[in-house]
Amino acid sequence: MSSDALTNTLNSTTSSTITIRIIKNFEYRTVKNLVLQHVNLETTTFKELKDLVREKINSTPGLKPFRNVNYDTLKLYTKAHGAKTQNLVINIDDDENLIFPDDATLISCGIENETEISFFNREAYEVYKTHPDVIKWD
């Protein structure tokens, strides 16, 4: 591997862009994307990521309608150039492997540059999983 390729590999883990899909309501498909740039995948934990996103929700005017939900769970939606789920709100498959523990670093769970992660209330998600085909926004 050339030194330029190695530098690019190192930079992609220490300064990555990830998209957080903030899900306010599953049935109404109320989702807002928050793009976070310059995220260090090697040192950032999921707890730190949750705290950062909550801070952005509380300080960004465009996210004001999303402030009344207790967001407590992060789950992989899709990786860059990967297959997407058929569900437009959230990936409802494989909760055991795709819901992230607070103490793990992003890179240890396979997070890469341009990954999309859903951020939501776990209790609301469990209710939604019992009837994922119900949509109330029609």
- Name all domains of the chain by residue range, CATH numbers in brackets: 3-129 (3.10.20.90)
Confidence at residue 107, expressed as pLDDT on a 0 to 100 scale: 95
pTM: 0.87
Confidence at residue 137, expressed as pLDDT on a 0 to 100 scale: 61
Confidence at residue 4, expressed as pLDDT on a 0 to 100 scale: 46
Q: Which residue ranges of the chain lie beneath pLDDT 50?
A: 1-10
Let me know how long the chain is: 138
